[in-house]
């Protein structure tokens, strides 16, 4: 599992939990990340007694292959192009995809990017966390960071005012390194 984290995030973390390779270069071997994510998912589901069906596995693979946030209907379109049947043998339909995504969310194998209504693979599915996301407003790519200090600060401020947190979503819009360099020209 540690190999998956370092493969996706880069070798080591920077200040505050950010990773130097959060937005991988174009030379990045993403196929290896996809393979590692699928292996990790199989391992995690086996440990948790959860059933990673062929369709759930394929949805997870499509999310990871995308390497950027992907919407449920885009997943559905790819499944239909690949002529994938749902659990009942009929062509994949929106409810089937949403059920698969709900399963993947429940087991922390993917995250939902709320502002984009899209999904990304989770590089650390073996740990309970609420990642924060840096989202490029130009190319749409998103990088997950997991900074405990951010979670603590939100929790402390909420407690001070008597607010009960049910769910934390931190999404920051800006420019990824590639788009930032292009805008600087």
**Tokens 């996809």 found at:** 34
Q: Cα–Cα distance between 88 and 147 in angstroms, integer?
A: 41
Within 13 Å and on the Cβ side, how many CA atoms surround 74? Answer: 15
Q: Is 99 exposed, middle or buried (0-12, 13-18, 19+ CB in 10 A)?
A: middle
Strand partners, 174: 136
Q: Cα–Cα distance between 170 and 140 in angstroms, integer?
A: 16
The verdict on whether residue 122 carries a ligand-binding annotation is no
The verdict on whether residue 176 carries a ligand-binding annotation is yes
What DSSP element (H or E) covers 95?
helix 94-106
Q: Cα–Cα distance between 36 and 139 in angstroms, integer?
A: 25
Q: With contact defined as beta carbons under 8 Å apart, do 107 and 56 qualify?
A: no
Q: Cα–Cα distance between 10 and 23 in angstroms, integer?
A: 9
Q: Which residues contribute to the annotated binding site?
A: 136, 139, 176, 179
Q: Which residues contribute to the annotated binding site for Zn(2+)?
A: 136, 139, 176, 179
């Amino acid at each position: 599992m540690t190999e998956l984290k370092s493969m996706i995030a880069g070798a080591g973390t920077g200040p505050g939990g950010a990773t130097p390779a959060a937005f991988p270069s174009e030379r990045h071997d993403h196929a290896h990340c996809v393979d590692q994510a699928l292996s990790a998912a199989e391992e995690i589901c086996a440990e948790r007694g959860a059933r990673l069906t062929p369709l759930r596995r394929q949805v997870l693979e499509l999310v990871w292959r995308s390497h950027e946030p992907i919407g449920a209907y885009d997943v559905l379109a790819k499944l239909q192009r690949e002529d994938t049947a749902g659990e009942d043998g009929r062509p994949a339909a929106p409810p089937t995809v949403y059920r698969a995504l709900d399963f993947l969310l429940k087991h922390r194998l993917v995250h939902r990017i709320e502002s984009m209504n899209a999904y990304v693979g989770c590089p650390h599915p073996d740990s309970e966390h609420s990642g924060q996301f840096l989202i490029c407003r130009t190319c749409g790519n998103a990088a997950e960071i997991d900074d405990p200090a951010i979670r603590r600060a939100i929790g402390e401020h909420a407690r001070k005012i008597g607010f009960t947190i049910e769910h934390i979503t931190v999404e920051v819009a800006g420019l990824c390194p590639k788009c930032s360099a292009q805008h600087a020209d």
